Amino acid sequence: MLDNPSIIGRLDRLSRNEAIMGRNTPSITDAEWAVLERLWQEGPATVRRLADSLYPKGGASEYATVHKLLERLEAKGHVRRDRREGVYVFRAVVERDAIIGQELEALAEKMCGGSLQPLLMTLLRVKRLKPEELQELLALVEGFDAKSSRKKPRG
């Protein structure tokens, strides 16, 4: 039997040890997330293509909404635009896992004082892991733990 609290405690220590100080990343709204999901799934796209994909029966206001969402995502550094054949083509420049990590860190900071332990313990209690998922989690933690112990503290 694997010791869940031990895994969570080790993950929590690692998250605090490897956190980037002073990082203040703006959160992603549900609408922005939907746009990013499309870009990750379908690749670079124009505003029109994204608007048609997100709002199949949409019109000018939906096009304007998608355009505004892309502008906000660009300001946050999550998408970039390139001009091709007279139109802007947008592409995601941040990976899905990176944004998930940022959002989870923000949630841990907001609800748990920055500690991952209460967040992960609650997730483990609410959504039970299959044995193979738990083994994968343990291997991940042990891999992080090994990397962390190889780093010698400077004195």
pLDDT tens, 24-51? 567 899 999 999 999 999 999 999 999 9
Report residue 118 CA to chain centroid gap. 19
* pLDDT tens string 66-125: 999 999 999 999 999 999 999 999 999 999 999 998 888 888 899 999 888 888 888 888
* Cα three-residue angle 110-113-116, rounded to 5 degrees: 95
Give CA–CA dist 82/118, Å, rounded: 42
| Domains detected in the chain | 4-22+99-149 (no CATH), 30-92 (1.10.10.10)
Query: What proportion of the chain, given as a percentage, has pLDDT over 70?
Result: 79
What is the three-class DSSP state of 136? helix
Report residue 15 CA to chain centroid gap. 15
Q: How confident is the model at residue 137 (pLDDT cuts 50, 70, 90)?
A: confident
Q: Is the pTM of this model over 0.75?
A: no
* Sheet of strand 79-84, all strands in order from the earlier edge strand to the far edge: 45-46, 87-92, 79-84
3-state helix, strand, coil in the chain (%, to 5): 65, 10, 25
Strands (E) located in 31-144: 45-46, 79-84, 87-92
Give me 2's structure tokens.
């694997």
